């Protein structure tokens, strides 16, 4: 008799996607916060609809303005009930990065069996708190240093140099959205990139990244 275990699919391993969303006051202008909300909702719904396989996409959302807040704790995408984000206040990006580093390094929240996490940072301005220490934690962290990192700079006032420091030492890129409409294009790319990994033989391997021009973000 053949071993029945060979017909049993092992439990899917978590593939975490963590979004750090700038919800400072400047995001209230020109339809940016509305576009961000629609884009996040579409991405999460797409992840929730992914067929079961070796990976199950988990999502966390961290909003940052005067302070940083874990808006959506890390959980399966199909369990997320996202409430619309509102904009107002300053840009506590460093605090958001610290929360993210804590989450990624915490094996009770993000088990060792999880696949390589994708961390997405979206901002239309410059941080109003210290980011040097938190970024250093990403560079030196046991797990954070291995995370896939992407960033979106929205508009001319975004601190693109700081975002490049965030993605440094990873294969990530900084993309630019000239206006609110381009935010959707970026999140479509994030969705495509992560979904491709769930269908891969090894979801820890990252798909080739297109240039910013390929996303029509310039």
Residue for token digits 């909003």? 63
Q: Indicate whether 87 belongs to any domain.
A: yes
CATH number of the CATH domain containing 107? 3.40.50
Question: Which domain range does residue 76 map to?
Answer: 29-119+126-151+167-215
* 166-182 pLDDT per residue, tens: 998 666 789 999 888 89
Counting the structural domains of the chain, the total is 1
Look at residue 36 and tell me whether its pLDDT is greater than 90. Answer: yes
Q: Indicate whether 14 belongs to any domain.
A: no
Helix, strand, coil percentages in the chain from 3-state DSSP, rounded to 5: 40, 20, 40
Average pLDDT of every residue of the chain: 90
Task: Provide the Cα torsion 138, 171, 120, 134; round to 10°.
Answer: 20
Percent of the chain scoring above 90 in pLDDT = 76
Question: In which region does residue 29 sit, left (phi positive, over 0), alpha (psi from -120 to 50) or beta (all else)?
Answer: beta
Q: Indicate whether 41 belongs to any domain.
A: yes
Q: Indicate whether 88 belongs to any domain.
A: yes
* 133-166 pLDDT per residue, tens: 999 988 888 888 899 999 999 998 999 999 999 9
Q: Indicate whether 1 belongs to any domain.
A: no
């Amino acid at each position: 008799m053949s071993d029945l275990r060979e017909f049993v699919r092992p439990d899917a391993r978590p593939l975490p996607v963590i979004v750090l969303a700038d919800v400072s006051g400047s995001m209230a202008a020109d339809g940016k916060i509305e576009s961000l909300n629609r884009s996040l909702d579409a991405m999460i719904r797409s992840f929730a609809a992914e067929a079961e396989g070796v990976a199950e996409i988990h999502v966390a959302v961290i909003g940052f303005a005067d302070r940083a807040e874990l808006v959506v704790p890390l959980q399966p995408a199909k369990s997320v009930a996202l409430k619309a984000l509102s904009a107002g206040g300053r840009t506590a990006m460093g605090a958001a990065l610290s929360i993210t580093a804590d989450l990624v390094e915490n094996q009770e929240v993000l088990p060792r069996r999880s696949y390589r996490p994708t961390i997405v940072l979206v901002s239309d301005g410059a941080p109003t708190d210290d980011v040097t220490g938190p970024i250093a934690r990403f560079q030196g962290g046991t797990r954070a240093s291995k995370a896939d990192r992407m960033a979106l700079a929205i508009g001319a006032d975004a601190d693109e140099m700081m975002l490049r420091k965030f993605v440094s030492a990873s294969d990530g890129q900084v993309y630019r959205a000239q206006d609110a409409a381009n935010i959707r294009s970026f999140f479509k790319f994030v969705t495509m990139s992560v979904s491709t990994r769930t269908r891969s033989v090894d979801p820890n391997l990252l798909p080739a990244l297109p240039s910013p021009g390929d996303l029509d973000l310039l």
